[in-house]
Structure 1
Amino acid sequence: MIKQLYSIAIIGVLCLSACSTPESLKSFDSKTWKDDRYACSGKRGDLVDDLEAIKKELYGKKEYVLRNVLGKPDSEELMERNQRIYYYYLEPGTQCENRNMLSDANRVQVRINSLGKVSEVSYYRPIKTTKPE
């Protein structure tokens, strides 16, 4: 009985640690990003340089890791072969009034491949950022 409980506890700890955010991404201010849904408060724009610093780290990460870091996407598009594109707005725009339509406001576009991993991170309109160190 004790061996079974011990095994269950070990499996539980492993499952919880598997769903956490990697250390390399913990420096990003996820709370501020997630709190500014649709970028209507204008706080996400201030985090673009920080996003650039972790952008390369996002490649190959599973979808749940992306959602842990950036939260639920503001919008998403289903592509062929079970690929998806997640949209995260960077500036206020018409999405603040009508959340059912894609806005022309600048946004980050994250492509999720059919295996559920990040395969591309790009901007709707490229922006000037400082190069990460």
Structure 2
Amino acid sequence: MKKGLFILFSIGILFSSCTKKPPIEGLNTEVFRSDRGACKGLRKQFLPWFQQHRLDWKGVSSNDIEDVLGKPDIQQLADRNQEYYIYFFEPGAHCQDPKNPSNAQSISFRFSAMGLATEVTFQKGI
């Protein structure tokens, strides 16, 4: 029993050490998280920061991104257990009703089946 517990513990340590932490220097995460859907207009100021650090977010786990940025404004499931997190940078039609399609500026994180960001893109809407 001790051997099995040790192996399980070792695997957990190995897995957690392989994940990459997101860069947050220069990003006010409290302000970003407090502006859900960017409906207050506070997130727009962070767009240049994200454009500059876009590639630094590749390889970061979905859990770590959610811990830093908060719950995504839109979460989509895709084929082969892939997932997308979308965060808006400006107010749009989604602020009146989350079901409304929006053309607001956003960032999209695409995650592999392993839960790691494989693509980070900027777009208008979703």
Give the TM-score category using the shorter length: 0.7 to 0.9
Identify the residue that residue 113 of structure 1 maps to in structure 2. Answer: 112
Residues 26/67 of structure 1: CA separation in 2 closer, same or farther (3 Å cut): farther
Aligned twin of 2:50? 51
Would you say 1:28 and 2:27 are equivalent positions?
yes
Gaps of 5+ in 2: 1-12
SS at structure 2 position matched to 1:64: helix
- C-alpha change, 1:116 and 1:35, in structure 2 (3 Å) is same
Is the Cα–Cα contact under 8 Å of residues 59 and 118 in structure 1 kept in the other structure? yes
Residue 25 of structure 1 aligns to a residue whose secondary structure is: coil
Task: Compute the TM-score of the two structures, normalised by the length of structure 1.
Answer: 0.72
User: How many residues are aligned here?
Assistant: 108
Distance 1:117 1:23, change over 3 A: closer
Structure 1 residues 108 and 23: alpha-carbon distance in aligned structure 2, compared to 1, 3 A threshold: closer
- Report the equivalent of 1:3: none
**Alignment check: 8 A CA contact 2:86 2:109 kept:** yes
TM-score when scaled to structure 2?
Answer: 0.76
Q: Percent identity?
A: 28
User: Which ranges in structure 1 are unaligned for 5 or more consecutive residues?
Assistant: 1-13, 126-133
